[in-house]
Structures are given as C-alpha cells and as structure tokens.
Amino acid sequence: LKQLLSPRQFAQAIGVSESSIKRWCDQGRVETVRTAGGHRRIPISAALKFLRHAGERSLVDPEALGISGHVQHLNRALDAEPLFREALLAGDETTARQIVFELYVRRHPIGKIGDEVVAAAMREIGDLWECGTAEVYQERLACEICLNVFRDVRTALPAVDEDAPVAMCATPGGDPYEVAVTLVELVLRESGWNVIALGSDVSLDALAAAVQHHEPQLVCLSVSAIDDEADFGRSVGDLRAVVEGAGGTLILGGRAIPSAIRRRLRGVEVCDTLGQLASRAIVPV
Ligand code: B12
C-alpha cells in the first residue's frame, strides 16, 4: 500500500476528477496533510476511511492505491481465502495485507473477513501442520502476519466517539490465541465501541478487576483453549456476576466453547462467529 497519495492518485483510484478531490480535501471531507512545499497529500488511512464510509464512491483502480495485481477482483470474501492462505504460508505479508484491504474497501464487514478468510485460512494451515505438510514456523509466521495486518486495519477504522460505550475483550488465562481476540477487538471497534483490549492469557480474576474499574457495557471472552472445564465453568459464572453487577453483558465465543462446555455455562450468552457478534453487539444509543 502507498502511504501518502497525491490528489491525482486518489482521483484515479476512485474515478473522479483531481479538482473534485482537491475540493473535498479543502472542505474537510477527505483528511489531508500538507507537504513542506504546501501540496495536499492524503494518508492511506484517510483514503481507506473515505472509500469505506463515504457513501456511493467505490474503488475503480486499486493499483492507484498500491493494491495491485491478482487480488484485484475479489468481490466475494470466500474467493480470497485460498489466496490469503497461500500468502500466509509463503510469509508474504504484502499480499496478505493487500487482500484484507481490498476486501475492506469493498465494504466487507470485518467480522465476515475474519470468519470467511482469516479463520478459514488458519484452520487449513492448522490441518496442514497436523498432517506434517506445513512447518511450525509457517504457522507462527502466519499469526504474526495476521496481527501486523490487523494493526494496520485498526488505524484505518474511523475514530470512535469520545462518549461511546466501553467494551472489553480478552482470552482467559492459559489461552495464548491472539488472532481471534484481535479480530473481536476490530469487530467491536468497527461497531463503534470504545474498546479496552486486554489481549491474551488474562486470568479471569484480573479481568474481573478490570471490569470493576472500567464498568464496560460489554465484555467479550474469546476462548480457544481450556485447561479444566469444571473450573472454567465456575470462574465464568463468577465473572458473569461481576460483569452484570457492573451493568454489563458477558458474551463468550471461540473454538473451545462448543458442546460439553456450553452445558456448564447455562445462562451465559455464546456467539459462534464474528458475524453473529457484529449483529449482537450494536452500540446502545
Ligand atoms: C495459530 C495456532 C496456534 C498458535 C497461536 C499463536 C497466537 N499468537 O495466537 C500457538 C503456537 C500458540 C498454538 C499452540 C498450540 N496449538 Co494451536 N493452532 C493454531 C491454529 C493454526 C490457528 C488458530 C487461530 O488463530 N485461528 C484464527 C481464528 C480467527 O479462528 P478461530 O480460532 O477459529 O476463531 C473463530 C471463531 O472461533 C470465532 N471466535 C473466536 N473467538 C471468539 C470470541 C467471541 C466473543 C466470538 C463471538 C467469536 C469468537 O470467531 C473466529 C472467526 O470465525 C489452529 C488451527 C485451527 N483449526 O484453528 C491450531 C490448533 C487449535 N492448535 C492445536 C494444537 C494441537 C496446539 C498445541 C497443543 C500444539 C503443541 N503441541 O504445542 C498448542 C496448545 C496451546 C494451548 N495452550 O492451548 C490443534 C488443536 C487440536 C484440538 N483438537 O484441540 C489445532 C486445531 C491445529 C490442528 N489442526 O491440529 N496454536
């Protein structure tokens, strides 16, 4: 991706005249910085924000933004999964980033990108590792690439309102799975929550303390690994009491939640996918 665009490059990308872009820059419709010589430049994050959020304009020439070549015609998120997986396995962060941003500017919700592209690709990579076709380092590199790309997506999201309600997310103690919880963070940010992201491997006691301090209206726990199911069930029950006591709702999700464990979590809300989370986690007005 190019980091700074000239008005001409951005005009080419979205198929309007350069003078329209300059006008929008001056009206503040497109965030603009100035070079030392006084020329307008549009940060890539501002260009992506505009494309994704400013109504009817769409990307007609991705190459003008540095989104190029083979990922140019991805209209369905599912088409992107094999390309994304290949990029991860090859350690090709540039292509992985281009794919995610291509989908992002085509207005695919982050939850959908997470469910249909990232999780699907990582599941395949896990299977390849299990049967000895992929090396451990490829799996680790794939995670790092995802996390780097997500960091860039976060900077492209519009700023949340200062008075937006607070949501919190984490994985429980002993759960090292960062990719899923980072996607949860992005989905909540995209929905307009003011997110306090505590990351991975947070003991439920530590999380309860954070809840008491910040009183979030929503707490999302991403659960990919559980040591002791009975113990986990009890701790989640305690956490739920703390969250509800502070006026919030607890939502659980993640690969380790299905079946057996659900029965121990009676009354705790569970979502299976990020898409479900996005429709459930509407910011209260
Ligand atoms: C990456 C990875 C790791 C990395 C994680 C690194 C990191 N920084 O995150 C590391 C190296 C830590 C790791 C370790 C291990 N792993 Co591992 N790992 C994976 C892998 C390849 C991808 C996981 C991932 O990030 N997926 C991407 C996310 C986005 O997808 P997701 O988890 O499916 O999440 C989706 C939903 O569950 C949901 N969701 C998730 N959280 C939430 C939360 C909310 C609120 C909501 C609404 C929804 C939601 O939305 C997501 C998008 O759809 C999986 C393969 C797989 N099938 O998942 C194996 C896999 C899970 N690992 C496996 C194994 C065996 C291990 C180890 C035991 C290996 C070892 N011998 O050391 C250890 C155990 C670690 C532990 N303490 O549990 C096995 C598990 C087998 C089993 N039946 O349990 C798998 C399935 C690989 C395989 N095919 O064999 N692993």
pTM, 2 dp: 0.91
Q: What is the pLDDT of residue 284?
A: 78
Q: pLDDT tens across 247-263, in order?
A: 999 999 999 986 656 66
Distance 99 CA to ligand 1 centre (A): 22
Q: What is the pLDDT of residue 70?
A: 54
Distance 271 CA to ligand 1 centre (A): 17
Comparing C-alpha atoms, which of 194, 140, 207, 135 is closest to residue 166?
A: 194
Q: What is the pLDDT of residue 71?
A: 58
Comparing C-alpha atoms, which of 77, 73, 52 is closest to residue 62?
A: 73
Other Cβ atoms less than 10 A from the Cβ of 186: the count is 22
Q: What is the pLDDT of residue 73?
A: 63
Q: How far apart are CA 134 and CA 169, in angstroms?
A: 31
Q: How far apart are CA 252 and CA 237, in angstroms?
A: 12
Q: Which residues contact 186 (CB under 8 A, 6 or more apart)?
A: 110, 114, 150, 153, 154, 157
Kindly report the protein residue whose alpha carbon is nearest to atom 19 of ligand 1: 126
Q: What is the pLDDT of residue 160?
A: 87
Cβ of residue 143 lying under 6 Å from some atom of ligand 1: yes
CA angle at 78 for the pair 76 and 84, rounded to the nearest 5°: 110
The 8-class DSSP code of residue 65 comes to: G
Q: Cβ-count burial of 3 within 10 angstroms (0-12 exposed, 13-18 middle, 19+ buried)?
A: exposed
Q: Which atom of ligand 1 is nearest to the CA of 114?
A: 52
Q: Which residues contact 67 (CB under 8 A, 6 or more apart)?
A: 1, 59, 98, 101, 102, 105
pLDDT along the chain (285 residues), means of 10: 88 93 94 94 87 73 70 71 96 91 86 97 96 95 97 85 94 97 97 96 97 97 91 91 95 83 74 94 83
Q: Cβ-count burial of 189 within 10 angstroms (0-12 exposed, 13-18 middle, 19+ buried)?
A: buried
Local structure of 195: helix, strand or coil:
strand
Q: How far apart are CA 239 and CA 249, in angstroms?
A: 10
Contact 14, 57 (CB under 8 A): yes
Kindly report the protein residue whose alpha carbon is nearest to atom 11 of ligand 1: 140
Q: Which atom of ligand 1 is nearest to the CA of 144?
A: 8
Cβ of residue 250 lying under 6 Å from some atom of ligand 1: no
Other Cβ atoms less than 10 A from the Cβ of 269: the count is 13
Distance 248 CA to ligand 1 centre (A): 28
Kindly report the protein residue whose alpha carbon is nearest to atom 78 of ligand 1: 225
Distance 224 CA to ligand 1 centre (A): 6
Q: At residue 251, what are phi and psi to the nearest 5 degrees?
A: -125, 130
Q: At residue 271, what are phi and psi to the nearest 5 degrees?
A: -115, 140
Q: pLDDT tens across 74-95, in order?
A: 667 778 999 999 999 999 998 8
